[in-house]
Amino acid sequence: MCVMKRSLSALFSALVFGVLTIVPSGLLAQASSSDSDAQIGTRVDHLLQQMTVEEKVGQMMQYFQFLPGTSAAEELARKGEAGSFLFMTDPNAINRVQHAAVDGSRLHIPLIFGFDVIHGWHTIFPVPIAMAASWDPMLEERAQTIAAKEARDSGIDWTFAPMVDIARDARWGRMVEGAGEDPYLGAAMAAAQVRGFQGDRIGSPGHLLATVKHFAAYGAAEGGRDYDATYVPDVLLWNVYFPPYKAAIDAGAGSVMSAYQDLNDIPASGNKWLLTDVLRNTWHFNGFVVSDAAAVYNLITHGYARDERDAAYKAFHAGVDMEMGFPDMHLPANSLFGNKEPVFRPGQHAYADALVSLVKDGTISQAELDAHVRPILVAKMKMGLFEHPYVDASKVETKPDAANRTAERAAAAKTMVLLKDDGGLLPLSKSVGSIAVIGTLADSQKDILGSWAFQGDPKEAVSVLQGIRNKIPQAKVTFVRGAEVKRPWPSPVDISPRMIPNQTPEQLRQQIADAVAAAKAADVAIVVIGEREGMSGEAASRMSLTLPDAQEQMLEAVAATGKPVVAVLLNGRPLDITWAAAHVGAILEAWYPGTEGGNAIADVLFGDVDPGGKLPVTWPRSAGQEPLYYAHNLTQNPETAPDFRSRYWDGSSFPLFPFGYGLSYTRFAFSNLKLDREQIPPGGQVQVSVDVENTGKCDGDEVVQLYIHQQAGSASRPVRLLKGFRRISLKPGEKQTVTFALGRNELQFWSPQTKTWAVEPEKFDVWVGGDSKATLHGEFAVTAQ
């Protein structure tokens, strides 16, 4: 019978639109990702005419599917009560559930399958904060193109990325998922990820539907506490937090995820100003909005909605098109939810419980309902799901291929930031006789992948220890685990938690003694420190930024031997390494570098790759400085004043490392800063050029950074704002002229006084250099007309 339906669909697909109401599955089954927007719009309108209220609401429901059995999901699909599932990764299971929808439901509408493809599928690339440290949007685009291809070949259609939340507080665990503190850099990386995920259009072969998240200002959580409320004035929303979202939407992102948290006392998933006034009316977004997990239902928890009906109504009218909810589940004992006995867990879904009645009693009109369902159906048609709903399970790869591993290794090396290199300790000589590799993270294949690497097989990953052994097989490499590193309790979002044994005081003393002995016997000690992957990410905020457990004690003991010490950091946020910065010879920020991370770290440590990465965040001395960011406003006692010391009496208020900072194995000189004109009209443009020369002895990468400051105007403006950057590669003695354009997009800002965007007629400072402390300076003015 199902075969006959599909054959009839093919037959009737040749007929004109006028008969679609007679055989609705005909043209629908032939909807193609190559169809024009007008053709797709016509097909969607005809489909909506055939759908019942229940079927429309079904399209607005997305459910998690954690458990291996698919019978419940198939039943929802057959009834037309689900439009999407997420966290299904078995291609055969995906096909079973898709067949239930396409063959078993009345209108044969396919499902769309989503997953958090954050920084890779089988090939795990560096975490997003690391990719931002590359200051290379094209690199990020290529990485997400590979991730999209691997995921799409496995049956995934839709990713919940990029996360573009600006993060100015390193205590917030999800800093690891974004591009850091700066809206200009963040916007560039956001757009690059959308292009990588989606290709040149929604529905490009081998690509995914992208989701820009979490709208909006989720990264401004009070105290860096994940999920906590955010209080952000309009001037910061428009000038700091909104630009990366806007850039992702301008790049064509097909969906947006509404955030969990309260924004200025209104939950983001029930915030009409955000989801309708800004997103649709101001930015003209025409994709669909999906809530974060159970965010609609949890409008009740926020104290914003009375019950499921009220929550559904408020989210619907705010602009949420699809609810990401939890279905009713019968959980077996010892499941990943931690129950010791079989238990029934009621679902969390407001739309499924209340929308039908809200439409049937007239509270929500049919036209309003159609407006929410339409962009979901459009996305499915653009993705080609009506034409090709299934995955070819026989062709699914289960591990990274050689070409993708090579690309990942190169990308990882480009993200690393050299924070310190006293006396040219790095790069290390490949003829070194013996090395002590110290730290439990050095031999961890799982931790080098970072968080949100669910489909990455740790067995495929190269640890730091293995990478060093691969690089110098002739050297004696001694490994000591040293201080253990673990969370007091596992991350609640870790779907495969590890049992890490507790370390007794006696075991710790012995491990540190072994580390000291190994360092004394070696030519150099490489100490790998930082956080385990589950210590950075969702539900991974911290009160302090100190190195977890006894890692600093271990590092101090090794440094006391007097042997050369290199510290390698594995982490997803700045940590308190103030002691290390003062006492350790070299520090390499490697982030969580991914599948080939160990090899990439060795490439940098031994000089095969110049560490050209730059910090995408301001690095604090301690958590007490947070939130800390370079683009702050001037005060009556500016930091540049001759008598300025600190804003704290008990320590420095300056960062340990500034935004944009990063050393190299060579040296670069900036000179000959030129502005092609001294004045421009409000709509004009000034060209800024600078010469950059490699004055060292080896090839290297430099990130040329341009900053501006508006000297006066309708509002106080930050001391510096990044408005241009370019990563370049130079050979020894090579010089290159780099040119930037400063026009309306770079000079305008949203004024809290005028409530508008404008380029104001004022004087502007310009600095160009290798970080946010650049000293090469110029000046120009914008005239009144």
Q: Which residues are part of the catalytic machinery?
A: 292
Peptide bond into 216 cis (omega under 30): yes
Dist. CA 571–CA 562, nearest whole Å: 26
- DSSP track, 492-549: TT-SS---PPP--HHHHHHHHHHHHHHHHHSSEEEEEEE--GGGSSTT---S--BPST
Angle in degrees, 0-180, between the axes of helices 242-250 and 183-198, rounded to the nearest 10? 30
What are 408's two structure tokens?
């990942």
Residues near 584 by beta carbon (within 8 Å), at least 6 away in sequence? 420, 527, 555, 559, 565, 566, 567
Report the alpha-carbon distance of residue 499 to residue 484 in Å, rounded: 12
Contacts of 630 (CB under 8 A, 6+ apart): 181, 182, 618, 655, 658, 659, 660, 719, 720, 772
Report the run of H or E that residue 262 belongs to, with start and end.
Answer: strand 262-263
Strands (E), 534-658: 565-570, 586-589
Helix ranges (H only) for 338-491 are: 351-360, 366-382, 402-415, 464-471
| 8 A C-beta contact, residue 767 and residue 774 | yes
Tokens standing for 755?
């409530």
Q: What three-state secondary structure class fits 221?
A: coil
Taking the chain, what is the end-to-end CA distance rounded to the nearest angstrom? 72
- Tell how strand 735-742 and strand 686-694 pair up: antiparallel
On whether the CB atoms of residues 557 and 527 are closer than 8 A, the answer is no
**From CA 172, how far away is CA 217, in angstroms rounded?**
13
* Closest alpha carbon to 570 in 506, 665, 485, 475: 485
Residues 435 and 478: beta-carbon distance below 8 Å: yes
Distance of alpha carbon 208 from the chain centroid: 16
Spatial separation of the C-alpha atoms in residues 595 and 445, rounded to whole Å: 8
Whose tokens are 């429309």? That residue is 56
One-letter amino acid at 636 equals Q
293's tokens: 């997990």
Q: Which residue has the tokens 């490949």?
A: 430
d(CA 351, CA 283): 26
614 token code pair: 């730059």
Helix (H, G, I), strand (E, B) or coil at 403: helix
> Can the peptide bond before residue 627 be classed as cis, meaning omega within 30 degrees of 0?
yes
Classify strands 329-331 and 343-345 as parallel, antiparallel or unpaired: antiparallel
Instruction: Give the amino acid at 560.
Output: A
Tokens of 321: 């098109």
- Residue 353 host element (H or E): helix 351-360
User: Is there a contact between 607 and 437 (Cβ–Cβ < 8 Å)?
Assistant: no
Q: What tokens were used for 493?
A: 């979002």
Phi, psi of 478 (to 5 degrees): -105, 130
Phi, psi of 721 (to 5 degrees): -135, 130
